[in-house]
């Protein structure tokens, strides 16, 4: 908290341009009382003018806190200390809030993830971007608007006057990310801090945003790029710093770090990237997948045994006859405002052979999730049908379908939202088990009364408890987690609970809709390994939906590429990824950031 060299205030642009845009020495940031572990513990790095330094790490590694400290925005209640923190060789350590305000936006800009939330949804982008100019220049309103249009144009938003008056919600993902970057670059600050600027964007948009950052860099802007994705940063970073547990564990040029990783954490992150890894090969070290010792072989034998569900008659016929899941000419249209019609899913057909995985890959808006809902028969198709294990499924009335529901499990991206937040893990799983109890095929909505009270309640509860323990064990979670609430679990643990819940009914088909998209790459690797193991053990058939081509390539036997509601290409994973025939697939693959 020393206040040395507060030379600020003066017009620093007049002096000679120092070569170092940012220097950080021994930065420490802590929250709460002093006894708590610091989030950032002694981080040092330097960024030269026109250089891009990537800080890479998993969630909780302290990379975002580091990024925000560079702007003096570590947060209320943060304890920040450092031996040095200087922008363009001027110390900003211990600056007053007023002095910081003069620098933010002018000397250093910040780009955050998720432009939808990072631009005020109630204000048009022209005003959001114009704010930097209003705060730091004496331009009048008309001049500001003119400048904003220039900045938007430079950010690659053609016809900016068309978009300037819109709010972030009225722009596409790519447009609003450009607007957000334009806002940070409006005053051409010598340093740009970008915190996960491409996360959650489609690969093609991601490539455009990286291009934009690269252009800024070419103009001499120094960039600190924060990311969890080594492949993304490898495209534009000159140097990489790997953060783990609040420390920088490895620094080097991009080539050095990627080709010759010295630290175990770096190697682990590199190994966990699923791109180009053959199907069935593990992504994570074996011990990570199952955190508890297995109950033994017994459940390995008992698990595949199916309850006597009436609709499984097809299972007795030769397995090759019928696919586990088959979609024939599915179509679904939605009516938009002003009478527009949106073909969300348009004549989609595919087969998932028993015991195999079909990966559906596509960008946001391609109709993947609508397809999943149609397959789960949660949404009625306008045309076409879904057949399950060779039997009619989507055409059945829901009353008849309910008996077959246990055969299909679903795993979602946002599992937390799919859990009742008041229930503990034990209760969640017990409900799922009770809901799928074979003696009550028409379970639908009466499970709660049956499982907690009434006839045979105790017996059912005991049977349920054993099954809950078995489920938890099968997804590699410790029994100690049973009494936690989902909000208190880590992302990976939550997704494991989500998988356990999906398996409660002993399904034969599992529909996974972006199951790993919200997870760190190493956790993602563990979950993918787990799904792979479960598939082999329980002979599951998987429909795996993702926007991530690497993940799809890793998990799929067959791949279907979706674009604008249609399947544009199908084939084996090898065919589609090594010799794509459709131009869209080719463009998609070209946009994927790859490690050199």
Contact 279, 573 (CB under 8 A): yes
Q: Which is nearer to other proteins, 165 or 454 (CB)?
A: 165
Given candidates 84, 89, 90, 114, which one binds other proteins under the rule CB under 8 A?
A: 114
- Residue 56 CA to residue 230 CA, distance in Å, equals 7
CA dihedral 416, 419, 422, 425 (to 10 degrees): -90
Binding mask 250-289 for other proteins (x = CB under 8 A): ----------------------------------------
The yes or no reply on residue 25 touching other proteins (CB under 8 A) is no
Among 125, 184, 434, 511, binds other proteins (CB under 8 A): 184
286 burial level (CB within 10 Å; 0-12, 13-18, 19+): exposed
335 touching other proteins, by CB under 8 A:
yes
Q: Which of 339, 397, 421, 596 binds other proteins (CB under 8 A)?
A: 339
Q: In angstroms, give the least distance from the CB of 21 to other proteins.
A: 16
Residue 312 burial by CB count (10 A; 0-12/13-18/19+): exposed, middle or buried? middle
Q: Which is nearer to other proteins, 132 or 206 (CB)?
A: 132
DSSP 3-state of 59: coil
Our finding on whether 121 is near other proteins (CB under 8 A) is yes
Instruction: Assess 338 for contact with other proteins (CB under 8 A).
Output: yes
Q: Which residue among 23, 63, 103, 228 contacts other proteins (CB under 8 A)?
A: 103
| Residue 105 interacts with other proteins (CB under 8 A): yes or no | yes
Q: What is the DSSP-derived secondary structure letter of residue 306?
A: P
Q: How many chain residues interact with other proteins (CB under 8 A)?
A: 39
180 part of the interface to other proteins, by CB under 8 A = yes
Place of tokens 């999730």: 369
- CB 122 within 8 Å of CB 54: no
By CB under 8 A, which span of 2-10, 123-131, 310-318, 582-590 interacts with other proteins?
Answer: 123-131
In the complex with other proteins, which residue's Cβ is closer, 103 or 354?
103
Nearer to other proteins, 195 or 569 (CB): 195
* Type and span of the H or E element at 496: helix 491-503
Q: Which is nearer to other proteins, 135 or 590 (CB)?
A: 135
Pairwise CA distance, residues 86 & 46, whole Å: 10
Dist. CA 260–CA 183, nearest whole Å: 37
State which of residues 32, 123, 143, 162 lies at the interface with other proteins (CB under 8 A). Answer: 123
Considering only 101-109, 230-238, 267-275, 503-511, which stretch makes contact with other proteins by CB under 8 A?
Answer: 101-109
d(C-alpha 57, C-alpha 224), whole Å: 13
**Of 187, 118, 178, 176, nearest in space to 153 by CA:** 178
Alpha helices (runs of H) in 105-259, residue ranges in sequence order: 115-118, 125-136, 141-154, 160-163, 173-185, 203-218, 230-236, 254-259
Describe the strand order of the beta sheet including 247-253 as a list of residue ranges: 108-111, 191-195, 222-227, 52-56, 239-244, 247-253
Based on the shown chain and the rule CB under 8 A, indicate whether residue 79 belongs to the binding site for other proteins: no
Q: Nearest approach, Cβ of 69 to other proteins (angstroms)?
A: 12
Q: Which two tokens stand for residue 466?
A: 């054993």
Q: Which residue has the tokens 């065919």?
A: 575
Member of 37, 120, 214, 276 binding other proteins (CB under 8 A): 120
Closest CB to other proteins among 145 and 556? 145
CA distance 408 to 441: 13
The kind and range of the H/E element at 591 are helix 583-591
Any contact of residue 66 with other proteins (CB under 8 A)?
Answer: no
> Which lies closer to other proteins via its Cβ, residue 110 or residue 511?
110
Q: How far is the CB of 95 from other proteins (least distance, A)?
A: 12
Binding residues for other proteins, rule: CB under 8 A, are 68, 71, 73, 76-77, 97, 101-106, 109-110, 112-114, 117-123, 128, 131-132, 135-136, 167, 169-170, 180, 183-184, 335, 337-339
């Amino acid at each position: 908290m020393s206040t040395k060299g507060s030379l600020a205030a003066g017009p620093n642009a007049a002096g000679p341009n120092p070569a170092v845009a940012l220097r950080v020495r021994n930065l420490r940031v802590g929250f709460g009382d002093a006894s708590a572990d610091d989030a950032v513990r002694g981080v040092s790095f330097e960024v030269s003018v026109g250089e891009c330094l990537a800080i890479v790490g998993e969630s909780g590694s302290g990379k975002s806190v580091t990024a925000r400290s560079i702007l003096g925005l570590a947060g209320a209640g943060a304890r920040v200390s450092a031996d040095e923190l200087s922008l363009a060789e001027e110390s900003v350590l211990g600056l007053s809030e007023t002095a910081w305000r003069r620098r933010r936006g002018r000397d250093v800009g910040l780009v955050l993830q998720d432009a939808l939330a990072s631009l005020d949804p109630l204000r048009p982008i022209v005003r959001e971007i114009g704010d930097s100019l209003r705060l730091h220049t004496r331009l009048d309103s008309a001049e500001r608007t003119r400048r904003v249009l220039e900045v938007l144009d430079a950010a690659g938003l053609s016809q900016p006057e068309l978009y300037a008056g819109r709010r972030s919600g009225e722009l596409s993902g790519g447009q609003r990310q450009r607007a957000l970057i334009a806002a940070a670059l409006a005053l051409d600050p010598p340093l740009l801090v970008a915190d996960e600027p491409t996360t959650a964007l489609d690969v093609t948009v991601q490539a455009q945003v990286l291009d934009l950052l690269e252009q800024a860099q070419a103009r001499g802007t120094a960039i600190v790029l924060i990311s969890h994705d080594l492949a993304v940063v490898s495209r534009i970073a000159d140097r990489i710093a790997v953060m783990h547990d609040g420390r920088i564990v490895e620094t080097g040029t991009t080539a050095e770090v990627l080709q010759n990783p010295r630290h175990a954490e770096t190697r682990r992150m590199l190994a966990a990237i699923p791109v180009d890894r053959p199907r069935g090969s593990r992504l994570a070290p074996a011990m990570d997948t199952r955190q508890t010792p297995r109950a033994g072989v017994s459940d390995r034998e008992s698990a595949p045994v199916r309850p006597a569900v009436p609709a499984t008659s097809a299972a007795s016929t030769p397995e090759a006859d019928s696919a586990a899941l088959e979609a024939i000419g599915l179509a679904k249209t939605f009516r938009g405002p002003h009478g527009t019609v949106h073909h969300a899913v348009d004549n989609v057909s595919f087969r998932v052979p028993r015991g195999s995985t079909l990966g559906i890959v596509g960008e946001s808006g391609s109709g993947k999730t609508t397809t999943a809902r149609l397959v789960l028969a949660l949404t009625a198709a306008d045309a076409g049908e879904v057949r399950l294990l060779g039997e009619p499924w989507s055409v059945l009335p829901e009353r008849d379908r309910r008996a077959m529901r246990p055969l299909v499990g679903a795993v979602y991206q946002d599992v937390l939202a799919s859990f009742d937040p008041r229930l503990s893990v034990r209760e969640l799983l017990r409900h799922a088990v009770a809901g799928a109890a074979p003696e009550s095929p028409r379970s639908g909505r009466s499970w709660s009364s049956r499982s907690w009270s009434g006839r045979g309640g105790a017996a059912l509860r005991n049977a349920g408890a054993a099954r809950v323990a078995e489920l938890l064990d099968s997804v590699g979670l410790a029994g100690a987690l049973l009494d936690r609430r989902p909000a208190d679990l880590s992302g990976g643990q939550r997704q494991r609970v989500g998988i356990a819940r999906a398996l409660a009914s002993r399904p034969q088909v599992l529909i996974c809709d972006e199951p790993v998209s919200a997870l760190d790459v190493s956790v993602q690797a563990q979950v993918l390994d787990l799904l792979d193991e479960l598939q082999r053990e329980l002979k599951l058939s998987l429909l795996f939906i993702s926007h991530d081509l690497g993940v799809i390539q890793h998990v799929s036997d067959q791949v279907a590429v979706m674009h604008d509601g249609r399947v544009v290409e199908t084939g084996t994973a090898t065919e589609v990824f090594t010799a794509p025939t459709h131009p869209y697939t080719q463009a998609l693959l070209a946009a994927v950031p790859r490690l050199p």
